[in-house]
Amino acid sequence: MSRTLPTAKGSPRQAAAVLVAEVTEHGRTLDEALIDTKSFNALEGRDRAFARAIASATLRRLGGIDVVLSRYMQQPLPKGAALARAILRTGAAQLLVLGLPPHAVVSETVGLARSAQSAQPFARLMNAVLRKVATDGMAAFAALPPGADLPDWLFTRWRASYGGDSARAIAAALRNEAPLDITVKDNPETWAERLGGVVFEANTVRLAEHGDITAMPGFDDGAWWVQDAAAAMPVRLLGDVRGLDVLDLCAAPGGKTMQLAAAGARVTALDLSEDRLVRVRENLARTHLEADIVCADARTWRPKHMYDVVVLDAPCSATGTLRRHPDVAWLRRPTDIPSLSELQGELLDCAIEMTRPGGKVLYAVCSLEPEEGPAVVDAALGRRPYEIEGTDRILRTTPATRAAEGGMDGFYTRVLHRL
Residues involved in catalysis: 366
Instruction: Select from 65, 70, 53 the least CA-distant residue to 89.
Output: 65
Angle between helices 82-96 and 102-115 (to 10 degrees): 170
Q: Burial, 413: exposed, middle or buried (Cβ in 10 Å; 0-12, 13-18, 19+)?
A: buried
Pinpoint the alpha helices (H) of 25-175: 30-36, 38-41, 45-60, 62-71, 82-96, 102-115, 123-132, 138-143, 152-162, 164-173
Q: Using CA atoms, how far apart are residues 255 and 253, in angstroms rounded to an integer?
A: 6
Q: DSSP assignment, residue 5?
A: P
Q: What is the DSSP pairing of strand 245-249 with strand 266-271?
A: parallel
In degrees, rounded to 5, the angle at the alpha carbon of residue 59 between the alpha carbons of residues 49 and 101 is 60
Cα separation, 237 vs 364, whole angstroms: 11
